[in-house]
Amino acid sequence: MLKLKIVSPEKIEFDGEVESVLVPGSQGQFEILNDHAPIISTLDKGVVEYGQTKGQKVRLEILGGFVEVQKNVVSLCVEVNE
């Protein structure tokens, strides 16, 4: 499992454990799974998808931001499209 924390300027959007995270990277969409290599990447406008099982995905529309992955901890700092 991954520890995911999504923060926006307004609030903490999500803080919990998930199986995967799909993000709109600047070079294209990519998925973060357990034991992903460390990475820092900018995010473009698009949809972040995360969930505990493949059938239960939460979608969050963002205007941009960045993601950091390190030791199964995924941190997203995003601007949310509301």
Count of beta carbons in the 10 Å neighbourhood of residue 10: 9
Closest to 75 measured CA to CA, from 31, 24, 39, 34:
39
Q: What percentage of residues in the chain have a pLDDT greater than 70?
A: 96
What length does the chain have?
A: 82
Q: What percentage of residues in the chain have a pLDDT greater than 90?
A: 87
Predicted model pTM: 0.92
Higher per-residue confidence, 41 vs 54: 41
Confidence band, pLDDT 50/70/90 cuts, at residue 4: very high
Quick check: 54 pLDDT over 70? no
Alpha-carbon gap, residue 21 to 4, rounded angstroms: 8
Looking at every residue in the chain, the average pLDDT score rounds to: 94
CA angle (22, 4, 62) in 5-degree steps: 50
